Amino acid sequence: MLLVEMTGVKGGAGRSTLSSLLSLSLAYDGFNVSLIDLDDLGWSSRLLEVNDKGLICIFSDRSSSGLWKEIRVNKGKIRVIKMLEPCGMIDDRLDLVFNDSELRGRLTKILNEAVRGSHVIVVDSKLALNGRSNNLAELIYEAIPRNVSYKRIYVTDFNRLSIEATLEVMRLDQKGVDGVVINMIPPLPSFAEQAKSLATRFKGIVTIFPFLEYLFNVSTLPMDNVPDQIRRLSKHLLEPTPSFLLVI
């Protein structure tokens, strides 16, 4: 089992979109994928047409139905597990779970069941989780089988300040880093060359991803149109992480 955490220093860099695209690419190749959506707005779930309440909302209401949704994609499938989309008093609901050992234990079992049978787990998780959201992220990792292979990919936009901040955070990352996606490169040759130059400052799998207007404005993703860069990234993630590999 492989776990790929998609994270980043700032919002708005396309982390959720890339998490959904990566899940689609892996499922298209025949893998069973669990997409754990820790985004506050549940955006990666929405892009896959999952618009129901988040698991925490359903669970804290003592319901056990509709905790996740499965989507068939070619030879594989994606189990979308939306965690946090607001349903009213989300912090209070998280407090309810974490202050009750029985509820916490039940949630751990549910999360363990949610990822059972998966070949790959994709976690859409921003870097700066606060309070109970951070507790929830820790609980998710506790619930995942111990034999999982862990990889971490950062997502940044093309803004120089964002890239510098990402480089600094990656340098200090104690969990280990397997690569970065430099996202939303303007479609001009000069910017592409600049992105290639910046890519050499990173380690691991460095993916240069162009700005694609249809992804920027989309409300749901087309299931059969994953960009080539993500198709290549998904295949490289299944292999040992190289010291440096440029994906364009």
Q: Say whether pLDDT at 103 is over 90.
A: no
Q: What is the pTM of this model?
A: 0.93
Q: How far is CA 180 from the centre of its chain?
A: 13
Tokens coding 231: 């198709």
CATH code of the domain in which 102 resides: 3.40.50.300
Average pLDDT, rounded, for the chain: 91
Longest dimension (CA), the chain: 57
Alpha helices for 182-248 (secondary structure H): 189-199, 213-216, 228-237
Q: What's residue 131's pLDDT?
A: 67
The total domain count for the chain is 1
**Domain that residue 240 falls in:** 2-247
Identify which of 209, 207, 204, 208 has the alpha carbon closest to the alpha carbon of residue 239.
204
What's the average model confidence in pLDDT over 140-145?
88
What's the average model confidence in pLDDT over 225-239?
97
Q: Say whether pLDDT at 230 is over 90.
A: yes
Q: Say whether pLDDT at 142 is over 70.
A: yes
Give the pLDDT confidence of 64-93 residue by residue, as tens digits. Answer: 667 899 999 999 999 999 998 766 677 788
